[in-house]
């Protein structure tokens, strides 16, 4: 724990990307990204399909290696100190996988075991998050009987079980009904404001970003085209994020076609 404390004092940011690029052969999916996310901040990551959002988030979580640049989570280098960085990260993929034949409780015990958590810590964490997400009555039921919204909440329980410093969510709103989306938005703000967790949220739903995010970055064609507090990105008082997003991404397309 001494090492962890030392790392946290070296930088005030929970997540830092410096000069991060990713190439697949001749194709450059991400180009020289610099980003910083503060403790307790909800960060919205926006961009059209194929812009580089998912590639960036997979590098943040250690699923892909950057071709260039560095990524730090809570001061730990995602490549050189991979295990320490991952221990401080919770991740919900855009294509999550659940073992449907397991019960909700069995799934959480499985995930806790992967993190090397004790049975007592797993039980404590599971009880906390299952209660928060109204799943305690379903803990003994197989996952295959869960609705889409319930599965999404179970995934959140599993991502939060080891008490990460950073939560990364790639398109978590997909398929949720209005009630489920409202619940998720409330939880995200609670994680930041009550638990001091940093949240990076990738979504196509711009209204969600305006409602719950403190800061935002727009990526297009692998480059960050705008970043900062919501009011800074909007540029003009009363301007909607949708208008800014369309202007920036359309101008980038036009420049690329010229």
Check whether residue 12 and residue 84 sit in a common domain.
yes
pLDDT at 49 over 90: no
**What is the pLDDT at residue 149?**
86
Give the CATH number of the domain where residue 227 resides.
Answer: 3.40.50.300
Q: How far is CA 36 from CA 44, 130, 142, 199, 257, in A?
A: 12, 31, 39, 12, 31
Domain that holds residue 19: 2-88+164-257
Choose one of 139, 163, 187: the last residue of a domain: 163
Check whether residue 45 and residue 154 sit in a common domain.
no
**What is the pLDDT at residue 106?**
97
Give yes or no for a contact between 249 and 235, defined as CB atoms under 8 angstroms apart. Answer: no
Instruction: State pLDDT tens for residues 94-111.
Output: 888 899 999 999 999 999
Choose one of 163, 186, 203: the last residue of a domain: 163
Q: How far is CA 124 from CA 7, 116, 131, 164, 246, in A?
A: 27, 14, 11, 15, 45
Check whether residue 64 and residue 13 sit in a common domain.
yes
Check whether residue 17 and residue 125 sit in a common domain.
no
Here the tokens at position 221 are: 């064609």
Residue in 69, 85, 65 with CA at minimum distance from that of residue 3: 85
Check whether residue 193 and residue 228 sit in a common domain.
yes
Alpha-carbon span 169 to 90, nearest angstrom: 8
Alpha-carbon span 47 to 215, nearest angstrom: 14
Check whether residue 28 and residue 76 sit in a common domain.
yes
Check whether residue 134 and residue 105 sit in a common domain.
yes
Check whether residue 104 and residue 48 sit in a common domain.
no
pLDDT averaged over every residue in the chain: 88
**What is the pLDDT at residue 26?**
94
Residue in 224, 175, 164, 245 with CA at minimum distance from that of residue 199: 164
Check whether residue 7 and residue 132 sit in a common domain.
no
Alpha-carbon span 235 to 112, nearest angstrom: 44
Instruction: State pLDDT tens for residues 167-193.
Output: 999 988 877 788 888 888 899 999 999
How many domains, the chain?
2
Confidence of residue 160 (pLDDT cuts 50, 70, 90): very high
Check whether residue 83 and residue 104 sit in a common domain.
no
Check whether residue 23 and residue 80 sit in a common domain.
yes
Q: Which of 72-76, 134-138, 209-213 has the highest mean pLDDT?
A: 72-76
Q: Point out the least confidently predicted range of 62-66, 77-81, 147-151.
A: 147-151
Check whether residue 253 and residue 170 sit in a common domain.
yes
Which has the higher per-residue pLDDT, 17 or 247? 17
Choose one of 163, 190, 210: the last residue of a domain: 163
């Amino acid at each position: 724990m001494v090492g962890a404390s030392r790392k946290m004092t070296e930088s005030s940011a929970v997540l830092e990307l410096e000069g991060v690029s990713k190439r697949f052969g001749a194709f450059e999916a991400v180009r020289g990204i610099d980003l910083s996310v503060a403790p307790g901040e909800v960060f919205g990551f926006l961009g059209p399909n194929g812009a580089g959002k998912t590639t960036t988030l997979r590098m943040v979580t250690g699923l892909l290696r950057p071709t260039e640049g560095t990524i730090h989570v809570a001061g730990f280098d995602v490549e050189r100190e991979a295990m320490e960085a991952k221990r401080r990260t919770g991740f919900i993929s855009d294509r999550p996988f659940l073992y449907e034949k397991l019960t909700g409780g069995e799934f959480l015990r499985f995930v806790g075991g992967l993190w090397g958590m004790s049975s007592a810590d797993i039980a404590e964490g599971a009880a906390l998050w299952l209660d928060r997400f109204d799943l305690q009555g379903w803990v003994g039921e197989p996952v295959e009987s869960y609705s889409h919204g319930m599965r999404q909440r179970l995934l959140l329980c599993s991502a939060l079980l080891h008490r990460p410093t950073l939560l990364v969510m790639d398109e978590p709103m997909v398929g949720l009904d209005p009630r489920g989306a409202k619940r998720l938005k409330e939880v995200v703000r609670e994680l930041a404001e009550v638990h001091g967790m940093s949240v990076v949220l990738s979504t196509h739903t711009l209204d969600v970003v305006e409602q719950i995010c403190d800061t935002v970055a727009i990526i297009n064609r692998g480059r960050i085209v705008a970043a900062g507090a919501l009011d800074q990105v909007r540029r003009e008082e009363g301007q909607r994020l949708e208008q800014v997003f369309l202007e920036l991404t359309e101008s980038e397309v036009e420049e690329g076609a010229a």
